[in-house]
Amino acid sequence: MISKWQTNKINELCIIKSGLWAGKKPPFLKINIIRNTNFGKDGKLDDSDIANLDVEQKQFNTRKLEYGDIILEKSGGGPKQPVGRVIVFDRREGNYSFSNFTSLIRIKDPQNLDFNYLHKFLYYEYLNGTTEKIQSNSTGIRNLNLNSYKEIKVPVLAITEQKRIVKTLDETFERISKVKENTEKNLQNVKDLFESYLSTSKGTKVPLGQLVNITTGKLNANEMVDNGKYPFFTCAKEVYSINKYAFDCEAILLAGNNAVGDFNVKHYVGKFNAYQRTYVITVNNHNKVLYRYLYFQLLKSLKEFKHKSVGAGTKFLKLDMIKNLQIDLPSPSDQQAIVNGLDALSEQTSKLENNYKQKLVYLDELKQSILHQAFTGQL
C-alpha cells in the first residue's frame, strides 16, 4: 500500500512555475502556447489547435517547455468538470510555453522519478477527486489551490519499478482504448441508423409557418424550482420543474438558443411553462399534420438550424428561420405510418444507446480501478 512506500510531496520532487501572459515589454517572441483546450482525452496533449502568443523574451527563457514536462490545468473547468487535469509535453522540437491558466511541473531529478509515472499518478489523483477538494469557484471558473496541490504525496519507488508500472498501464490502457473506440463507433452507428430512417419521409414541401402557431415562454431560466408541479422547458436538454403553468395543450418545444448551436426539440401534452427563449409550437390544422410527425421533422432539422443560427458567444434561432423551414408533408395516413416506424426504431435505438453508454462508463471505471491498483501496490 502507498502508506508503506516512500512518499515525497510534489514540491520536494518538482519545480512548479505559473504560465505566461501576453507580453508587455519588448523584445517579444511569437511562441506556441499550450492552453486548456489542448488538454485531450486520457491526459494526452491535443495539438490540433495550438495558439501563438507574443511573449516577453525574458519570461519565455524561464518558461520554455522541455520534453517530459507536465502541464497542470490550474484554472478553468466547468460545472461538471473540475480543474486539475494534467498532460505530458512530448515534443522535442519547437518553441513552446504554457498559458497563464496552467502551470509547469518539472521533475528535479529524472534519475529518481520517471515523468510518465508521475503523470499517471497525477492523472489518477484528478480522477479520484483529490483535486476537486482543493479548488474554489471564482467568476464562473474553478481555481486550483496550488499550495495544497504541492502538498500531495507521491509514492516514489525504484525507477525500474516505476517504468514497469508505466509499461503495464500503457499496455492495459491501449486495450481499453480499442474497446472504447469500437463501442463509440457502435454508438455512432446506432445514431446514424435512426437519422437515416428519419430522412425517409417524402411529400410536398411546405413552409412550417403555414402549419403552426409559434410563440415563446415568458419566464427567466432561473425560475425553476425543485420538485415543482409542472414541467418547465428551457433551452437545456434537461426538463426542469415549476409550480405555475402558462400552457395547457399539446405542443412542440424548440430551444431558441444554445452556446454552440446544438438545439433540441421535445414533444409534450399537458400543463407546462417555458423559458422566454423557448419556442412553443402548436398545430393550426390537425387535418394536415400530426404533432408526432412534426416532432420528428423538427428533430431532423436540428443540423440545418445549427447551420443557419446566428450569434457569436451564443447561437440563436430567429422566428423567421423556423417559419420558413421547408418540411415534407405526406398524407396524414402516411405520416402515421412514418411515426409508427420511427417510434419503434427510437425505442430500439434508445436501448442500444443506453447499453453502449453504460459500457463506456464501465470502461472509465475500469481504468480508474487499474490506476488505483497501480498506486496502492496491487499491480
| Residue 280 confidence class, pLDDT cut points 50, 70, 90 | very high
Taken in order 296, 301, 303, 309, the sign of the CA dihedral is: negative
pLDDT number for residue 221: 86
Write the single-letter amino acid at 274. Answer: A
* Predicted confidence (pLDDT) per residue in 39-62, tens digit: 987 788 988 888 888 888 888 888
Question: What's the CA gap between 66 and 96, in Å, rounded?
Answer: 8
Query: How confident is residue 232, by pLDDT bands cut at 50, 70 and 90?
Result: very high
- At residue 366's C-alpha, the angle toward residues 362 and 368, to 5°, is 120
- Find which of 159-173, 198-212, 335-349, 350-364 is predicted with most confidence, using mean pLDDT: 159-173
Based on the fold, state whether residues 58 and 188 are members of the same structural domain. no
Given a cut of 80, whether residue 139 has pLDDT beyond it is no
Q: What is the pLDDT of residue 201?
A: 67
Task: Provide the β-strand partners of residue 230.
Answer: 242
Say if residue 150 is in the same domain as residue 299: no
197 and 51 both lie in a single domain: no
- The cell numbers describing 181, all together, are 473506440
Query: Does 347 share its domain with 364?
Result: yes
In this prediction, residues 83-102 reach a mean pLDDT of 92
Helix, strand, coil share (%) of the chain residues, nearest 5? 40, 30, 30
Provide the CATH number for the domain around residue 43: 3.90.220.20
**Report field, pTM of the whole predicted structure over 0.85:** no
**Host domain of residue 350:** 157-202+336-379
What is the number of residues in the chain? 379
Look at the chain and report how many structural domains it folds into: 3
Tell me how far apart the alpha carbons of residues 64 and 46 are, in angstroms, rounded to a whole number.
18
Residue 227: pLDDT above 70? yes
C-alpha cell, 36? 486548456
Instruction: Answer yes or no: do 162 and 114 share one domain.
Output: no
Neighbours of 139 (CB within 10 A): 5
CA distance 373 to 379: 5
Give the 3-state secondary structure of residue 298.
Answer: helix
Same domain for 80 and 113: yes
Residue type, 179: V
Q: Are residues 123 and 162 in the same domain?
A: no
